[in-house]
């Protein structure tokens, strides 16, 4: 029988999902050397190399993936036991762990939080921002309870024999182009794809099967994208300055600054974007479903 600690398994899970010792250390509040020592201890106990470090981060070996699969089950059971024990505490605050991609975190989550703070003082929510692919993995691992995802319904389904996630569409709307208030296109109600020729774009690096984020999907030719930034505020400030343009989903429009305009695009098939709510039905709680309902109301 393997004699491993629950905390070491948690470290393995976070390393796998964050992709590096540095990011895992930041999330867990450890030093990078402490993370390295815990993984080394797991490798010594199991007799297998669990992860390979490279320039782009840490990649789990086959043995690491196998251990992670079992660790997910163990940690899920421990988390459930902790929740059930906490339910016995009078007056406890019920934390719900929410994940959201950047646009949803800015455009929908604040409205949901406002409703919860008004109606449900007994529920607290922690927020983790990430890409939809990363948050899908976090849901299956049990490190978040709910997630707002973008157009990745297929990616939310596991390929390792685990139970599928519950996924529902909260909203759907057209993708738009964001330009600064002084931009040459800013006063138009809509633009054509041809109008975008020669423009500079601010984009975010894609992950896995995700598209290049920020360039109009039907744009022909190679886009001029000198600015790469995942942070939403940085992207919108570059747009507001007139240095570049980018794409925005409907869900982000409520959070756009006053000096940024959102324009519809004609001359190509409409590019729809869906806002999805996903959760693992095996980890669902009354508190998480209350948060889910607040998100549904905010999305509509």
Q: What is the CATH number of the domain that holds 59?
A: 1.10.10.10
| Residue at 206 is within a domain | yes
Start-end of H helices in the chain: 6-18, 21-28, 32-46, 62-86, 102-107, 109-119, 132-141, 232-241, 286-299
Which uninterrupted H or E stretch holds 272?
strand 272-279
C-alpha span between 135 and 241 (Å, rounded): 31
Half-sphere exposure of 108 (CA within 13 A, CB side): 32
Q: Are residues 97 and 78 in the same domain?
A: no
Q: Are residues 105 and 65 in the same domain?
A: no
C-alpha span between 197 and 54 (Å, rounded): 38
| Residue at 1 is within a domain | no
Q: Are residues 191 and 165 in the same domain?
A: no
**Digitized pLDDT (tens) for each residue of the chain, 300 residues in all:** 678 888 888 899 889 888 888 888 888 888 888 899 999 989 988 899 999 888 778 889 999 998 988 888 888 788 777 767 766 665 555 689 999 988 888 889 999 999 898 888 788 899 998 888 888 888 887 788 999 998 744 444 444 445 578 899 998 888 999 999 999 999 998 899 889 999 999 988 655 444 567 888 888 778 899 998 878 888 999 999 999 999 998 888 888 999 999 999 987 777 888 899 999 887 788 899 999 999 999 988
6-18 and 32-46 helices, crossing angle to 10°: 110
Q: Are residues 122 and 159 in the same domain?
A: yes
- The pair of structure tokens assigned to 50 is 């669990």
Question: What integer pLDDT is reported at residue 92 of this predicted model?
Answer: 57
| Residue at 22 is within a domain | yes
Q: Are residues 234 and 251 in the same domain?
A: yes
| Residue at 78 is within a domain | yes
Last residue of a domain, one of 48, 82, 116: 82
Q: Are residues 211 and 260 in the same domain?
A: yes
Conformation bin of residue 38: beta by default, left when phi > 0, alpha when psi is -120 to 50: alpha
Asked if residue 277 lies in contact with residue 170, where contact means CB atoms within 8 angstroms, the answer is yes
- Return the CATH number at 110: 3.40.190.10
Q: Are residues 167 and 290 in the same domain?
A: yes
Last residue of a domain, one of 82, 102, 134: 82
Stated pTM of the model: 0.64
Q: Are residues 128 and 168 in the same domain?
A: yes
Q: Are residues 252 and 284 in the same domain?
A: no
Q: Pick from 283, 260, 268, 154: which is nearest to 216 by CA?
A: 268
Question: What integer pLDDT is reported at residue 153 of this predicted model?
Answer: 41
C-alpha span between 105 and 15 (Å, rounded): 23
Q: Are residues 155 and 295 in the same domain?
A: yes
Question: What integer pLDDT is reported at residue 207 of this predicted model?
Answer: 53
| Residue at 87 is within a domain | no
Question: What's the number of domains the chain is made of?
Answer: 3
Q: Are residues 292 and 159 in the same domain?
A: yes
Q: Per DSSP, which regions of 61-182 are E strands?
A: 94-100, 123-129, 146-150, 166-174, 176-180
Which uninterrupted H or E stretch holds 54?
strand 51-54
Q: Are residues 180 and 294 in the same domain?
A: no
Per DSSP, the three-state class of 123 is strand
Question: What integer pLDDT is reported at residue 24 of this predicted model?
Answer: 86
C-alpha span between 83 and 292 (Å, rounded): 18
Last residue of a domain, one of 17, 51, 82: 82
**Domain housing 228:** 176-270
Per DSSP, the three-state class of 190 is strand
Q: Pick from 274, 17, 249: which is nearest to 167 by CA?
A: 274
Question: What integer pLDDT is reported at residue 291 of this predicted model?
Answer: 95
| Residue at 29 is within a domain | yes
| Residue at 88 is within a domain | no
| Residue at 59 is within a domain | yes
Which uninterrupted H or E stretch holds 60?
strand 57-60
């Amino acid at each position: 029988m393997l004699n491993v600690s629950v905390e070491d398994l948690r470290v393995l899970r976070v390393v796998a999902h964050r992709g590096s010792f540095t990011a895992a250390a930041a999330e867990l509040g450890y030093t990078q050397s402490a993370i390295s020592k815990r993984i080394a201890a797991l490798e010594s106990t199991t007799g297998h190399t669990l992860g390979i470090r490279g320039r782009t981060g840490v990649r789990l070996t086959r043995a690491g993936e196998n251990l992670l699969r079992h660790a997910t089950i163990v940690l899920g059971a421990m988390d459930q036991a902790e929740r059930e024990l906490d339910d016995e505490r009078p007056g406890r605050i019920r934390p719900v762990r929410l994940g959201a991609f950047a646009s949803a975190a800015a455009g929908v989550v604040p409205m949901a939080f406002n409703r919860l703070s008004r109606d449900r003082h007994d529920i607290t929510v922690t927020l983790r921002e990430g890409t939809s692919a990363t948050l899908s993995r976090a849901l299956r691992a049990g490190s978040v309870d709910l997630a707002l995802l973008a157009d990745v319904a297929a990616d939310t389904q596991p390929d390792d024999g685990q139970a599928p996630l519950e996924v529902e569409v909260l909203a759907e709307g057209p993708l738009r182009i964001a330009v600064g208030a002084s931009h040459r296109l800013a006063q138009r109600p809509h633009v054509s794809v041809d109008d975008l020729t020669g423009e500079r774009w601010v984009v975010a690096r894609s992950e896995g099967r995700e598209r290049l984020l920020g360039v109009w999907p039907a744009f022909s030719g190679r886009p001029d994208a000198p600015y790469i930034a995942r942070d939403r505020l940085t992207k919108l400030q570059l747009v507001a300055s007139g240095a570049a343009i980018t794409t925005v989903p409907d869900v982000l429009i409520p959070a756009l600054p006053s000096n940024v305009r959102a324009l519809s695009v004609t001359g190509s098939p409409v590019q729809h974007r869906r806002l999805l709510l996903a959760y693992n039905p095996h980890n669902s709680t009354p508190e998480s479903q209350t948060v889910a309902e607040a998100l549904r109301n905010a999305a509509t």
